[in-house]
Structure 1
Amino acid sequence: MTDEQQPPAPLRQIDTVAALTSAQADAVLGLLTEAARSDGQQAVSEQGRLQLRGGERAGVRHLLLSTGGELSTGGELTGYAQLEDTDPIEAPAAELVVHPARRGHGHGRALGTALLAESGRRLRIWAHGGHSAARHLAQVLGLTLFRELRQMRRPLAGLNLPEPVLPEGVTVRTFVPGQDDAAWLAVNADAFAHHPEQGSLTQRDLDDRKAEPWFDPAGFFLAERDGQLVGFHWTKTHAEEHLGEVYVLGVRSGAQGGGLGKALTTIGLNHLAAAGLPTAMLYVDADNKAAVSVYERLGFITHETDLMYRTES
């Protein structure tokens, strides 16, 4: 979420659609690339970027802000917002971005106001990187800080972690696409029952990720006991940034507390180090003190912070 607040620019139009055309999706991706180059991180999450293509998705709406006329008649895509209303309990969640060269003209406020209207004034919105302009925009929109998500990093050069110790009867192998999909989705839902964003992933969401260039089952580790999946560590490689990621790590309820999570973390980090990646990263909620403590003991430190704001309940 990025913009500065200035008097609104003329000839601004916001269109809300349930699905983007190929041309619209390309324009949004181009806008996101320009913003990331300027801001140092993506303004829209991986899930949001995956939802730009593939047609209509339940609960997802796209807001296209154009200046100089409609996009179809030569107008410029100046801003974009995505609203996702799929959580049965929480307010709809949103992300927004304004082209770096068009900031300071109230476009962010216009998108934020449109999001409030679309959501019935029940809104959560991400400010990736927590930039001051985004914090100011949240204040202007009447939103309050709700959640802090930390990106933590550690060097992988010279990685010297203790050998992973698996609980008795547990073995680890790599993910087999097609064969392991259903079992993984079930364990993921169980492990992240408290975390709707991750725990609600569907087969379509998994297929989206399997179709991405970065997907590599050799870095997707599954822990089994008696033929049943009890935990996993899915790693990810960001080739352009030369980063390895602890992408998703989960342990099934009932299998927690025996050291499986730590062992899976070590296995994944060793895999990333063996691939020659210099740095590992991960995301963790700041209020998850136990997880933050575990990662700090593994040598991770906070690199940057994403903030989520919301309307008052």
Structure 2
Amino acid sequence: MDPQVLTRLDADTAAAVHELLAAASRADGAEPLSEAFLRNLRPGATADGVLHLVSTGGAGDVAVDGYAQLDGGYAELAVHPDRRRRGIGSALVTALEAATPDPHVWAHGDLDAAKALAAARGYRRDRVLWQMRRPLAGPDAPALPEVELPDGVTLRSFVPGRDDAEFLRVNNAAFDWHPEQGGWTGDELAARQAEDWFDADGFLLATDPSGTLLGYHWTKVHPAAGDEPAMGEVYVLGVDPAAHGRGLGRVLTLAGLHHLRDRGLGTVLLYVEADNAPAVRVYERLGFGVHAADVNYTRE
């Protein structure tokens, strides 16, 4: 049966999709959907241009056996572990291709099944996003250097409402090349400020004597889940291109790591484009190593 293509999900279908995602996560050791796509699954979510592709052709206790979401030309998908190798993934990709001429499909965890499906459908690896991790505490944790601010630079926490415009200016300058992080408006910032995890104290800003923002390190804390303890994240780190060459990337990274360690967290993670060699070098020198990879596929 071809997947249903919907602009919004009712509560029962959304709950069934979450059950599918949980089963896939347990089987694969990787979350099938990223943060932005999960937000579109919330009750009442009606983001413009978002399509939900739902496969319900199975039987038994699996209400939804396949799911894909398309948002702005980017897509993510999952197939229930008990329904794999039945053509459901291929049917979802076919439906994505019918909805947009050139879908860019994220595969989290760089799994063999995703590689096989991509190869069979004529897709190539377009972007690779590394998840890097570093221990903050324990015998395996490398020493955490102290934070040494450059002359004239002040470090403080973000103040909602007061710092919004400066953050957006620096973020969009730092990530003008990035398809997800660049081009933010107040809507993207407000959506994240409304999240339960948002903590202004962990949103660190580096400013010059005039108060102009030079760069920022926005941290995040993931609560404990199952066997996974609570973990910190370098959520976003950006430096104004006009302030490059002052070592602010390293300083801001260290400041966030100290903040997360002081909160009692034992591990920190971050995501970085695998081909962003300068950023990868900074993180490696600070003790980060590659833990997992997410791959974006596009058609040949």
Residue aligning to 1:308: 296
Query: Compared with structure 1, are the counterparts of its residues 17 and 186 closer, same or farther at alpha carbon in structure 2 (3 Å cutoff)?
Result: farther
| 8 Å contact from structure 1 (residues 50, 208) kept in 2 | no
1:196 is paired with a residue of what secondary structure? coil
- 1:203 pairs, out of 186, 201, 209, with 186
Specify whether residues 203 and 34 from structure 1 end up closer, same or farther in structure 2 by C-alpha distance, changes over 3 A only.
farther
Query: Amino acid of the residue matched to residue 135 of structure 2?
Result: P
Correspondence list, 1:1-313, <5 A: 12-53=1-42, 54-67=44-57, 76-85=63-72, 92-120=73-101, 122-157=102-137, 160-225=143-208, 226-240=210-224, 241=228, 242-312=230-300
TM norm structure 1: 0.87
SS in structure 1 of the partner of residue 241 of structure 2: coil
Task: Give unpaired runs (5+ residues) of structure 1.
Answer: 1-11, 86-91
Please list the CA deviations of residues 142-168 of structure 1 after superposition, one character each: whole Å capped at 9, or x if unmatched. Answer: 101111111111110156333222233
* CA apart distance, 1:68: 5.1
Residues 229 and 110 (structure 1), Cα distance of their counterparts in 2 relative to 1, 3 Å cut: same
In 2: Cα distance, 1:259 partner to 1:131 partner: 36
By how many angstroms is 1:203 displaced? 2.6
Distance in 2 separating the partners of 1:267 and 1:75: 46
Cα distance in 1, alignment partners of residues 160 and 87 from structure 2: 46
Distance 1:112 1:178 in 2: 42
**1:278 and 1:68 mapped to 2: Cα distance?**
42
- Which amino acid letter does the alignment assign opposite residue 75 of structure 2? A
Pairwise CA RMSD of aligned residues?
1.9
The normalised TM-score by structure 2 is 0.91
Letter in 2 for 1:79: G
Aligned CA distance change for structure 1 residues 23 and 228 (closer, same or farther; 3 Å): farther
Paired AA for residue 244 in structure 1: G
* Equivalent AA in structure 1 for residue 118 of structure 2: A
Instruction: Give the Cα–Cα distance (whole angstroms) in 2 for the partners of residues 222 and 256 of structure 1.
Output: 15
- Give the SS at the match of 2:52: strand
Identity of aligned residues (%): 51
Q: Match for 1:66: what amino acid? A: T
Cα distance in 1 for partners of 2:21, 2:58 equals 20
- Whether contact under 8 Å (2:142, 2:287) holds in the other structure is no
1:278 to partner: Cα distance: 1.0
- Number of aligned positions between the proteins: 290
SS in 1 for 2:148: coil
Opposite residue 28 of structure 2, the aligned amino acid is D
Gaps of 5+ in 2: none
Amino acid at match of 2:69: Q
